[in-house]
Amino acid sequence: MLDRIGYHVRDYFLKQMDRFAGVPRGVMAHSTHVKGIGTFIGGVEEPRVNVVLATRIPEERCRRVNLGYRDPASIDIESYRGREDEGILLVPKAGEMLHRLADGTVPRIPADA
Average pLDDT value for residue range 42-65: 95
Spatial contact of 27 and 1, defined as CB atoms under 8 Å apart? yes
* 52: helix, strand or coil: strand
Please give the biggest Cα pair distance in the chain.
50
Q: What DSSP string describes 57-102?
A: S-HHHHHHTT-EEE-GGG--GGGGTT-GGGT----TTHHHHHT--T
What residues pair up with 45 in beta bridges, in sequence order? Answer: 40
- Residue 93 — pLDDT band, cuts 50, 70, 90? confident
CATH 3.10.20.810 assigned to 2-98: no
pTM for this entry: 0.72
Neighbours of 7 (CB within 10 A): 19
pLDDT tens digits, residue range 9-27? Answer: 999 999 999 999 999 999 9
Q: How far apart are CA 61 and CA 41, in angstroms?
A: 26
Q: What percentage of the chain carries pLDDT values higher than 90?
A: 73
Spatial contact of 99 and 109, defined as CB atoms under 8 Å apart? no
The pLDDT of residue 89 is 86
Mean per-residue pLDDT of the chain: 89
The pLDDT of residue 110 is 59
Nearest CA to 31 among 44, 42, 47?
47
What are the residue ranges spanned by the domains of the chain? 2-98
